[in-house]
Structure 1
C-alpha cells in the first residue's frame, strides 16, 4: 500500500521549523495553540492548480493553521503519528518540572549518573546559538556524522539524514548564525560525546537530530542531555521543547504532552477523479495508522531496518 507515495507532497513540520516556510495552500499566519504565540512564516512555494491530489504531511496538532480561500480545493484530514513535547509554561524552574514529571527514583538515578560522568571524565557543556566559527562548526559536524552513522550501524537501521548531510550542514550553519537553530554538545576532554541539533521558531525548540557516543551508554547520556536542554530552555524563555514523532520510553519519561500529527489530503473538488483518489489515499492512510497502532508496522515490519539491509546488499 504505497498509493500516497505517487502524489506530490511536502513535510509540513520540516518546512516550518527548519526553514520557516509554508505551502501557499495555507495562510502565512501560524500560531501555537499552547502558548498563543505567532510563528512567523513565509509562503514559500505554490502548488496550485491541483489536478489530482497534494498531500501535506506531518502537521502538528498544536499548531493553528488556516487554508487559503480557494473555492475549487478541499482537504481531508487524517492523523498518522503521535508526537511528544515538553510544555514548560506552568513551571518556574527546571527543578519544578523534574519534581512533577520524574519519579523520585528517576531523579535520583539521573543526578547519580551525572555525578559519576563528571567524576570519571573531563566534561564540559556548550551551546552554539547565534555564533560559531566555521572551523569549530566543521569539526563538530564531522563528529556528528560519525557518531550518528556508528549509532545506526549498531542498530542496523537506515538513517535518512546521512544521505543529505551536506545540505543539512549548510542549512544548520546559516540557521545557527541567525538564531534559528542551536547545537547542544557535551564534550569529554574536548571530544563531542553527545550532539543535538535543534531548530527554533518563536517560543518553540524543535529537536531535529540527536546522537551520542555509545561508549558512554552506561551514563544514560540522553537523560543528562535532556536536563541540560531544559535548563537552557528556562534560561532563554522557551516554552515548548518538541521531541516530535515517535513513541519511546525516553519520551514517556520526559514529555508531559502528547499530540497527533495529521496529513492533509488536498484535492480538486470539481474533479471526480481527484475526489476518488483523495478518498483512496485517505483510507490507505487510515489502514497504515491502524497497522502502526497494532505494532505491525514499526515492530514486526520495520522499514528502516529493511532499507538498511537493502542498501547493504
Structure 2
C-alpha cells in the first residue's frame, strides 16, 4: 500500500484538506482552532513531516493511529504572549549591547534612505504583486550567486508565483516589503494561520548588506505581530545565526505516520523506514558555508577602497573640476554597495552623497564631511 505523500507542516498543513479530515482541531500555546470537516474520503495512510512539537493535533477518527518520529531538524520562532511590545521583547531577549546593534541597524537605515515599510495582507494589485515577487526572486538569485549556491525555494518558484496572490487576497499569506523610495530592498513572503505569522522565504538586496536588513525585517514584523495580537512569529526550520539570536522558542520537529486499523503493517513499516532515515541524517556532517565561501568575495575582488577620511581642501579642488555621476545608472551599478557602505559609516543620507569619476578606474565618494577613494582593478 503506497504511503500518502508527505505534507509539510508550513504552509500546507493548516490549509491541506486531508489534514483537516483527520484532525478536528489544532492546539498551540493554550489556543485551540477548530477545523470544519471537509467532504473528502479518508485515506488509509498519511505522512506529515516537520510538525512542530508545540502543536497538538486532535484526531477526529480514533480508528487511526499516529506514530511520531523525532526529526533531525530544529525550528526557530519568537513567542510573544508574555511581552507587551517589540521593545519589551528586545529587553527580554538581548543584552544591552545586542539591543544597541539592532536599533542601530533600524536607525541608520532610516537615517540614510527614504525608508517605508508595507505589509500587503488582503489588498494588493496583480501588477504590484508580480513586481514584488520578481524583485524577491532576483534578490535570492543575487545573494546565492555570491555564495555559489542555489536557494532551496527556487525549485518551487513557479508554484509560489501562481498560488500566492490568491492567498494574499484571502489573508492567508502576505508580503512584507522594505522600500527605499519605490525600490524594494527587502521582502518576506509570509503565511498566516490563526495568530501565527510564518516567514516562509525572505531576501534582501546585497547592495544594502551593511544595514542588517534581516534583523530590520524581523524587528518590524514582530512589531506588526504585537500590534495585531499575534502570539508567534515563526521562522521555520534551519538554525542560521540570526534565527538563533532572535528565537526564544527553539523546538524539535516530528514526522507523523498516521494509519487506519486495516493498514497496521504498512504503518509500522513506514515508521521504521523513516526512523532509519532520520538516524542516517543525524550522522551526516553539517554543511558549513562560512569558512568555505566569502559572501563579499565576488564584489570585492575587482574593487579596492581607501580609508574614509575628512575632506581636505585638495579634495574640494579636485572635485571642482569633475562632473558627478549617477550611481543609479546601469554602467555604475558596481558602485552601489560601496556607496551604501560609505553612507552607513558616515550616517550621511544618500541624497547628500556625490560620486565622481576621476579616470577610467578611479572614483571619489564625497559626503558632507568625509570622502573615500575607490579603485576598479
C-alpha contact 1:31 1:37 (8 A) present in aligned 2: yes
Q: State the Cα deviation string for residues 219-263 of structure 1 (Å, max 9, x = none).
A: 111111111111111111111111111112111211111111100
Could you tell me whether the CA contact under 8 Å between 2:44 and 2:263 is conserved in 1? no
1:109 Cα deviation from its structure 2 partner: 1.2
Which of the pair has the greater relative contact order for Cα pairs under 8 Å at 6+ separation?
Answer: 1
TM-aligned CA distance change 1:221 to 1:115, over 3 Å? same
What TM-score does the superposition give when structure 2 sets the normalisation length? Answer: 0.69
Instruction: Indicate how the Cα distance of structure 1 residues 63 and 160 shifts in structure 2: closer, same or farther if over 3 A, else same.
Output: same
Aligned mate of 2:164, from 158, 163, 172: 172
> How many residue pairs are counted as aligned between the two chains?
287
TM-score, structure 1 normalization = 0.82
Query: Contact conserved, 2:257 with 2:267, CA < 8 A, in 1?
Result: no
Aligned to 2:9: 12
- Corresponding residue for residue 284 of structure 1: 276
CA contact (8 A) 2:196 2:233 kept: yes
Contact kept? 2:164, 2:173, Cα under 8 Å: yes
Gap regions ≥5 residues in structure 1: 301-313
1:131 aligns with 2:123: yes
Contact 2:49–2:254, Cα closer than 8 Å, also in 1 = yes
> Corresponding residue for 1:263?
255
Moved more, 107-116 or 240-249: 107-116
Tell me the equivalent position of 1:241.
233
> CA separation in 1, counterparts of 2:275 and 2:233?
32
In structure 2, do the counterparts of structure 1 residues 216 and 35 end up closer, same or farther at CA, with 3 Å as the change threshold? Answer: farther
Task: Specify the alignment match of 1:65 in structure 2.
Answer: 57
- Match among 203, 206, 212 for residue 214 of structure 1: 206
Q: Of the candidates 105, 111, 115, which is equivalent to residue 107 of structure 2?
A: 115
The 10-residue stretch of structure 1 (272-281 or 238-247) with the greater mean CA deviation from structure 2: 272-281
RMSD value, Cα = 2.6
Matched, 1:79 2:74: no
Matched, 1:38 2:33: yes
Residue 75 of structure 1 and its aligned partner are, at CA, apart by: 3.0
- Looking at structure 2, the residues matched to 165 and 181 of structure 1 have their Cα atoms a distance apart, in angstroms, of 15
Whole-angstrom distance in 2 between the partners of 1:151 and 1:216: 11
- The reply on whether 1:88 has 2:84 as its aligned counterpart is no
Answer whether contact 1:39 1:202 (CA < 8 A) is retained. Answer: no
